[in-house]
Chain A
């Protein structure tokens, strides 16, 4: 058993173990690693935003192409700093309004297209595909009923009683079976990640396994 001689590998290994130490309990080592992690990654984020967002979208157009239109959003962005001016604090609502208006405007129709129309198409298509013979057809119908019942669970403006109660509870059964399956299906993926870490520790840091 030998150890790595690369100091960076040691840093990586010690930080990995510090994070894992949280599993036992919150402790000084984890606390340090966590604070460092938050700081380093926030700083990384600043560099990314500067290099990939502000330079190509603001500084390059302004300084290279002399496109002065970009000053408008720059001023809108600067309005955020009126937060620290007590009487003009409301000015930050203007850039916020821009972001909210744009964000919601960009989402409304695409959501209807992707989450509703596209889903309707797949649902109808799968329920009636009839390829692969008898059983597939039956399962197609079962899945279709499942979609309808699940949807009925989300009725809010009516009390769940009578037929709605029946369909909503069937919906909940489908949901629970689906959730259990998703959970069970994810275990392997997560364990694989842990294996990756353990392999790093045992091959690159301590040379136990080849």
Chain B
């Protein structure tokens, strides 16, 4: 019983929403919008649980004086301050909170966001140095096409041979596009099958029991 009701809900909603996709009628549209709205509301509640788990995780560290526990104070302070500023700042008369919220976003969160993103430039270099080795036929192909496309970007490539940018464009247009389409077709089947398995209750690891 404890398992049957959730399975019925999944089956029922899954079938209705799949059918809904093909029905443009008014009632069908209203149903769709209601489901989306409910979905958002339920999701809204999970953030409380989730942030609760984050705070709890760090609270434990502080209380047990685990290694580097003082950093956890930064996390908890960050969560509480940002959430309060963002929610209370909407109230009239507390505009200074909104200002501070925006400042913290602009000068604390956004710079770290961009810096983390920029780290990718370094990692592209180290990853390609390590992995672009002609260990096998496949790795050789990866190496060559990556190399040509990189040459296509720099002036040095065109200096070596004027056709390099065109070859690079060809690689991006023909084999690259073909492999992407092939992978996408497979992904489409795989994800449709996975959705179907969940709807039909064949895949029920989320209930525990791995399908029993």
Contacts and interface: CB of A to CB of B under 8 A. Distances in A.
Give yes or no for direct A-B contact (beta carbon below 8 Å).
Answer: yes
Given A46-B79, A76-B38, A147-B178, A16 B71 contact: no
A90 B70 CA distance: 36
Interface in A33-72: 33-51, 53-54, 57-58, 69-70, 72
Interface in A163-186: 171-186
Give the contact-size bracket for chain A: 35 or more
B4 to A, nearest CB: 10
Contacts of B185: 115-116, 119-120, 147, 151
Q: Which of A46, A50, A172, A191 has the most CB of B within 10 A?
A: A46
A19 B117 CA distance: 10
Nearest to B121: A194
B68 A31 contact: yes
Given A70-B41, A174-B179, A105 B118 contact: no
A47 B87 contact: yes
B43 A177 contact: no
A44 B115 contact: no
Contacts of A184: 145-150, 152-153, 168
Interface string B135-159: 0011101111111111011000000
Interface in B96-112: 101, 103-112
A185 B175 CA distance: 14
Contact of B103 (A8, A16, A114): A8
Contact of A73 (B18, B41, B74, B109): B41
A139 interface: yes
Interface string A74-113: 1011101101000000100111111111111111111110
A8 B107 contact: yes
B119 interface: yes
Interface string B120-146: 111010001000000001110111111
A112 B179 contact: no
A3 interface: no
Interface string A180-198: 1111111110110110110
Nearest to B149: A184
A206 interface: no
B172 A181 contact: yes
A73 to B, nearest CB: 4
A181 B168 CA distance: 8
B37 A73 contact: yes
Interface string A111-134: 110111001101100100000000
A184 B170 CA distance: 14
A138 to B, nearest CB: 10
Contact of B178 (A144, A176, A197): A144
Interface string B63-100: 00000100110111111111111110010000000000
23 contacts: A19-B115, A28-B68, A32-B74, A35-B74, A41-B82, A43-B81, A44-B109, A53-B40, A53-B41, A101-B9, A102-B39, A104-B10, A108-B17, A108-B192, A111-B195, A146-B174, A146-B182, A147-B181, A176-B139, A177-B179, A178-B178, A180-B145, A184-B149
